[in-house]
Chain A
Amino acid sequence: MDTTLNQTENQFFSSKKNNSEIKGKFFTGLTQLAVILIIAILFIILGIIVYEGRTKFSWDFISSFPTNGMTEGGIFPALIGTFILVIVMSIAAVPFGTITALYLTEYAHEKSKFAAAVRFSVRTLAVVPSIIFGLFGLGFFIQFVGAGADTVLNDGQLRWGQPNILWASLTMSLLTLPVIIVSVEEALKTIPRELREASLALGATKWQTIRKVILPESISGIMTGTILAVSRGAGEVAPILFTGAAYYLATLPGSLSDQFMNLGYHIYIMSTQSSDVEKTMPIQFATTLVLLILTLSLNIVAVIIRARIRRKAK
């Protein structure tokens, strides 16, 4: 009886650590180290930004114009310019993106070559470098559409054939279109087939079903896509480099044909071409902080809404 117990003990409580156990612990430790490293880097970056910008970051900073050759004052016009940019961008991109997503989920036949081309285009658009969008905006919107509009509407007088907030917003909307399409598609796919069937069985047309059942249910997906697009549009600089952003404007943009200031662009120019880089350091960091807070909080809101959509799908 004693010997059987000892045998069982030996089987269960073997103190020999074998090779695979050690390897397992090593890799677990490695991944934990990676996580700590990433979080540490994030906090160091944030820490530097907050510390260096602390003297400038205030309500005044956000609400007043820059003064003294941009070495003092605030970034109000850059903030407003960024807002107008993302608003016009959303007006262009959200309906267009939603309709595309609706086409892909509700109307496209499985084997349709056109639908396959659309899907391919969306995926490709998503990985095009942002500077390419800027060049496209310059070549297509400004030099082709804008110049053409001037010839037809203004007798050749230069008004639309130059960088302005309209062209910059449209360029940015092309960049963010894939994000919106993917988010809306995701939301549309969570709507169960039974709801569509119920509507059709009552004698509704496909369009009535979309308008009255599907679109209302996909609002959260549209919202997520819009917020992600806005967050991206607020931070990207390359697409607006030659399509409308300016470093210093005395007034806020009054019409779509005006140029505008922009947070990201401001940081870029200030850190490379400002008259007194040392003196403007705190402003640079404070502006960066503002931009970071803006994009981070937008992203968090989008993540929360998306998590809610996913929970609903289960």
Chain B
Amino acid sequence: MKDIKIKVNDLSLYYGEKKALNEISMDIPANKVTALIGPSGCGKSTFLRCINRMNDLIPSVSISGKMLVEGIDIYDKNVDVVNIRKKIGMVFQKSNPFPKSIYENIAYGPRINGIKDKTQLDEIVETSLRQAAIWDELKDRLDDSALGLSGGQQQRLCIGRTLAVSPDVILMDEPASALDPISTSKIEELIHELKEQYTIIIVTHNMQQAARTSDHTAFFYMGSLIEMGKTNTIFTKPLQKQTEDYITGRFG
């Protein structure tokens, strides 16, 4: 039995009175890519944001159930959310680099963690940019503003920024939806390389992308988890009719 990195038990989420996630239970395996698919508004992004407690930022949100990361419930009262986010990083749909230099963007996370030594920071910046497959493009422009990069470069920069704090898990919320096909395939290649070291959970509305990049797939519909399994199985022999309908394009 492979390692389970994250175990979700009956997780429900409410926006005030309105229930948006219905008792989600799933096991997310370590060092694999898990894709969350489903039509717009099905709750996949909401669920993703539960994993690093970004929904805490919305005042009307309340959550019940458990989200266990390596056995510890991250919603436990005694847990410091800041530490969770250092372990579980996130890449957003639209790239959001800081209006600072490329170097300072990557160094942001390490600096927050107290690293001040310039040599150390230089090393981390290089390693992160290499891991994000963008070192060669940027190594001579580290002091340029990050805002001058193209969309695809900015997104890879954001991935590098997330890697710089050495997380275990990387959450990606439709990371390539705002990018052209070439940038998209670069990101997909990157995901493939990263999964050796990291556990990756990716939300995508692009089923071909899910089929290409992921090992496991979870299908969400109207706030519920309908089916989850090996990507191969989900896309060829789904168990639920709803899954099959979505995959074959009958709705969504």
Contact = CB atoms under 8 A, between A and B. Distances in A.
A195 B146 CA distance: 13
Interface string B152-179: 0000001001100100000000000000
A201 B99 contact: no
B145 to A, nearest CB: 13
Contacts of A201: 52, 54, 85, 89-90, 92, 162
Contact of A194 (B52, B96, B161): B96
B96 A200 contact: no
B92 A197 contact: yes
A202 B92 contact: no
A202 B83 contact: no
B108 interface: yes
B149 to A, nearest CB: 15
A213 interface: yes
A194 B155 CA distance: 13
Contacts of B92: 194, 197-198, 201
B154 to A, nearest CB: 11
A203 interface: yes
B165 A202 contact: yes
Interface residues of B, number: 26
B112 A203 contact: yes
A195 B98 CA distance: 6
B182 interface: no
Given A109-B59, A197-B54, A204 B96 contact: no
Contact of A197 (B57, B82, B86): B57
A48 B84 CA distance: 69
A194 B57 CA distance: 12
Interface of B: 52, 54, 57, 59, 82-86, 89-90, 92, 94, 96-99, 108-109, 111-113, 158, 161-162, 165
Interface of A: 109-110, 192, 194-195, 197-205, 208, 212-213, 217
22 contacts: A109-B59, A110-B59, A192-B96, A194-B92, A194-B96, A195-B99, A197-B57, A197-B92, A198-B92, A198-B158, A200-B57, A201-B54, A201-B85, A201-B90, A202-B86, A202-B109, A202-B112, A203-B86, A204-B82, A204-B108, A212-B112, A213-B98
8 cross-chain pairs, A with B, having the tightest CB-CB distances, nearest first? A203-B86, A194-B96, A203-B85, A201-B90, A198-B96, A202-B109, A204-B112, A203-B82
